[in-house]
């Protein structure tokens, strides 16, 4: 079903079986960061129970309309929960809806970001086999590492892989069979404490060992900051300009947040194309031209 060709969108899945590690927050920030780079971005929400990312985008849409703001919006498709009497019918219908959603988006978007639930569903597994980049945020905690690998409690040496790593291994094997595609898996140490603790050092060491065993790259994710929680009701992100969204959000924390999201984007090594960059340049030239005209007019009336 999935055929990779250069024209189709790059698919990023944000996934982890562990709940509350920041998947939806990261998905939204990646989407807005890529939109701001002139990329055409769609989000597919397959967390049909919580629909957090759908709500996040709806909040943004409302805020944009309420204040007539010039802020960018990703395309959103929410895969609704199917309610047939038979489970097999539900699975079939959700898988079909998902496949249709992706094929309707891939021709006219550069990136499709799939926000996944923290539970092992067919749709979650299928999305993993579908992606080009898999981003897995984990909380800075040994409970979170446990879904990737089992560690020796005495010295934190890695003993074995565990359930989520197995899901990714299976997804990679399926993907190889279908189109020989490779999934670049990046694990983000997320919701980090701003100070480096002894616990964090042990965790990072274990993660590096695991990365070699399981085949992922590691990167720092987001720091635990209140500002990420404050953005949700208005659908905003650290990437939005205060000049547009209002100075209420302007703080050192927001600037630091913006910087760390940019770092993550760099670490992901995404295929951000030239066309997108020239779209942004064209927009800036247009804005400048408009400003020149505006200044010229206001000069006339002053």
Ligand X SMILES: Nc1ncnc2c1ncn2[C@@H]1O[C@H](COP(=O)(O)OP(=O)(O)OP(=O)(O)O)[C@@H](O)[C@H]1O
CB–CB of 21/190 below 8 Å? yes
Task: Choose the one of ligand X, Mg ion, none that binds residue 8, judging by a C-beta under 5 to 8 angstroms depending on kind.
Answer: none
Q: Are 13 and 114 in contact (CB under 8 A)?
A: yes
Residue 78 interacts with Mg ion (CB under 5 A): yes or no? no
Q: Is 52 in the site for Mg ion (CB under 5 A)?
A: yes
45 binds ligand X, rule: CB under 6 A: no
In the complex, minimum distance from the CB of residue 17 to Mg ion, in angstroms, rounded to a whole number: 12
Using rule CB under 5 A, residue 24 touches Mg ion: yes
Q: Pick from 8, 39, 52, 127: which binds ligand X (CB under 6 A)?
A: 52
Which residues, other chains included, contact 254 with Cβ-Cβ below 8 Å and sequence gap of 6+? 227, 238, 242
Q: Which two tokens stand for residue 204?
A: 């990072």
Size of the site for Mg ion (CB under 5 A): 3
Task: Give the Cα separation of 246 and 250 in Å (integer).
Answer: 8
Q: Is 146 in the site for ligand X (CB under 6 A)?
A: no
191 binds, among ligand X, Mg ion, none (CB under 5 to 8 A by kind): ligand X
158-161 and 184-190 as β-strands: parallel, antiparallel, unpaired? unpaired
Q: Which entry of ligand X, Mg ion, none binds 64, CB below 5 to 8 A by partner kind?
A: none
* Closer Cβ to ligand X, 47 or 240, answer by number: 47
109 sits near Mg ion (criterion: CB under 5 A): no
Q: Give the dihedral sign, CA 149/150/153/158.
A: negative
d(CA 59, CA 230): 12
Sole window of 45-53, 59-67, 120-128, 178-186 interacting with ligand X (rule: CB under 6 A): 45-53
Residue 21 burial by Cβ neighbours in a 10 Å radius (0-12, 13-18, 19+) = buried
Taking the C-alpha atoms of residue 268 and residue 31, their distance in angstroms, rounded to an integer, is 13
Which of 103/197 has CB closer to ligand X?
197
225 binds ligand X (CB under 6 A): yes
**Among 229, 287, 290, 293, interactor with ligand X by CB under 6 A:** 229
Residue 127 interacts with Mg ion (CB under 5 A): yes or no: no
Q: Which residue bears the tokens 């209420």? A: 248
Q: Which of the residues 182 through 201 are near ligand X (CB under 6 A)?
A: 191
Q: Assess 228 for contact with ligand X (CB under 6 A).
A: yes
What tokens were used for 232?
A: 């949700």
Our CA angle for 22, 25, 29, nearest 5°, is: 135
116 lines the binding site for Mg ion (CB under 5 A): no
In the complex, the residues that contact Mg ion under the rule CB under 5 A are 23-24, 52
Q: Which residues of this chain interact with ligand X, rule CB under 6 A?
A: 19-25, 47, 50, 52, 118, 191, 222, 224-225, 228-229, 232
């Amino acid at each position: 079903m999935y055929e990779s060709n250069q024209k189709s969108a790059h698919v990023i899945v944000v996934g982890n079986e562990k709940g509350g590690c920041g998947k939806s927050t990261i998905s939204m920030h990646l989407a807005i960061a890529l939109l701001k780079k002139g990329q055409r971005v769609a989000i597919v929400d397959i967390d049909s129970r919580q629909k957090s990312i759908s709500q996040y985008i709806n909040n943004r849409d409302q805020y944009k309309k309420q204040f007539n703001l010039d802020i960018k919006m990703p395309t959103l498709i929410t895969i609704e929960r199917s309610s047939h009497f038979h489970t097999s019918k539900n699975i079939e219908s959700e898988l079909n809806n998902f496949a249709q959603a992706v094929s309707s988006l891939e021709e006219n978007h550069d990136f499709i970001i799939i926000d996944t639930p923290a539970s092992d569903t067919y749709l979650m597994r299928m999305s993993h086999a579908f992606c080009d980049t898999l981003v897995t945020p984990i909380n800075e905690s040994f409970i979170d590492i446990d879904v990737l690998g089992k560690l020796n409690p005495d010295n934190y040496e890695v003993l074995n892989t565990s359930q989520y790593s197995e899901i990714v291994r299976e997804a990679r094997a399926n993907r190889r069979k279908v189109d020989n595609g490779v999934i670049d898996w990046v694990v983000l140490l997320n919701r980090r404490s701003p100070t480096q603790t002894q616990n964090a050092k042990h965790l990072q060491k274990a993660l590096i060992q695991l990365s070699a065993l399981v085949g992922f790259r590691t990167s720092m994710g987001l720091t635990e900051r209140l500002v990420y929680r404050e953005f949700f009701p208005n659908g905003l992100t650290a990437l939005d300009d205060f000049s547009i969204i209002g100075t209420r959000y302007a703080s050192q924390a927001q600037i630091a947040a913006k910087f760390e999201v940019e770092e993550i984007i760099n670490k992901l090594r995404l295929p951000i194309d030239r066309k997108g960059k020239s779209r942004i340049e064209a927009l800036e030239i247009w804005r400048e031209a408009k400003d020149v005209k505006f200044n010229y007019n206001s000069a006339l009336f002053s």
